[in-house]
Amino acid sequence: MGRNGQPMDDVAHTWRPDRFMVIAGHPDDADFGPAGTAARWIDAGSTGWLVCCTSGDAGGEDPDADPLELGALREREQNAAAAIIGYAGVSYLHMPDGALVNDLILREHLVREIRTFRPDAVLATDPSVIFYRDGGINHTDHREAGLAAVDAVYPAARNPMAFPALARDGLAAHRVRRLYLFWPNEPNVRVEIGATLERKIAALKAHASQIKEPAKLAERMTEWAAEEGEPIGVKAAEALRVVVIDDDDDEGPDLQAGAATEAATRGSGQDAG
């Protein structure tokens, strides 16, 4: 972040939350999405939690398949992937795959998750994207999950009078300070993921029911990470759109961009923030 909280897109983004929550429509979204960033933050001391709104029970090719069995399989795959990235846990909301709606029921579930885990940052799919700039349509579940995450973060999670039953359950209002939107058409920050790209690929391979060409996966993900890293001159990055809700003097625990930066920071004895 530059001065006045303005993101800068030409240098690696180094702000790091103490606690973060990824909200995804389907199992595997978080791993195709910001898994490299999540692993990087966790390695640096952050605690992460993953919420899957659906269990991906319509993510198959066989119309006769049992959706409950497929959902259970995909939860096992996501649990294995989450262990590779290092999340502290995964919540499944069991909403219907392909029919996710940003309604009060979904928002109350998400507010419950947010007020329970109390993250500083929430990562979710960019709900403003209907058509990807490079082609393709953004799945309706991704748009609805993203919009529900935005609405749950602001204003519901921080409003003590929203969903009063949650407060009566002891879940007090909580202020999420930042949103990070993944798969954006207009990214404004890039997190360097050279050290965690291999883990992102390993986590994706855990979603075996969804990966049709596992041999090509590593190559594809490496190319994608390189494209995202090119504007900041690194081999691998994830591009995100950050929305700062509460800007304050405490810039949070910094994420060192690399050994060189770390040495420079240590040498000067100053916090880079």
The site for Zn ion (CB under 5 A) is made up of 26, 29
What is the DSSP secondary-structure string of 88-125? SEEEEEEEPTT----SHHHHHHHHHHHHHH--SEEEEE
Angle at which helix 197-205 crosses helix 214-229, to 10 degrees, equals 150
Choose between 54 and 256: whose C-beta lies nearer to Zn ion: 54
Burial class for 211, CB neighbours closer than 10 Å (0-12, 13-18, 19+): middle
Choose between 25 and 187: whose C-beta lies nearer to Zn ion: 25
Question: In angstroms, what is the minimal distance from the CB of 163 to Zn ion?
Answer: 26
Question: In angstroms, what is the minimal distance from the CB of 178 to Zn ion?
Answer: 23
Choose between 136 and 269: whose C-beta lies nearer to Zn ion: 136
Distances (CA, A) of 110 to 8, 45, 174: 30, 24, 12
Contacts of residue 249, defined as CB under 8 A and 6 or more positions apart, other chains included, come to none
Question: In angstroms, what is the minimal distance from the CB of 26 to Zn ion?
Answer: 4
Choose between 14 and 55: whose C-beta lies nearer to Zn ion: 55
Which residue has the closest beta carbon to Zn ion?
Answer: 26
55-86 as b/e, with b when 16 or more CB fall inside 10 Å? bbbbbbeeeeeeeeebbebbbebbbebbebbb
Choose between 26 and 200: whose C-beta lies nearer to Zn ion: 26
Nearest to 204 by CA among 24, 33, 54: 33
Choose between 29 and 151: whose C-beta lies nearer to Zn ion: 29
Choose between 110 and 257: whose C-beta lies nearer to Zn ion: 110
Q: What is the rounded distance in angstroms from the CA atom of residue 59 to the CA atom of residue 73?
A: 11
Residue 15, classed as helix, strand or coil, is: strand
Question: In angstroms, what is the minimal distance from the CB of 32 to Zn ion?
Answer: 7
Tell the residue number behind the tokens 């504007």, with chain if given: 231
Question: In angstroms, what is the minimal distance from the CB of 228 to Zn ion?
Answer: 19
Question: In angstroms, what is the minimal distance from the CB of 25 to Zn ion?
Answer: 5
Residue 54: both structure tokens together: 């659906």
Question: In angstroms, what is the minimal distance from the CB of 257 to Zn ion?
Answer: 30
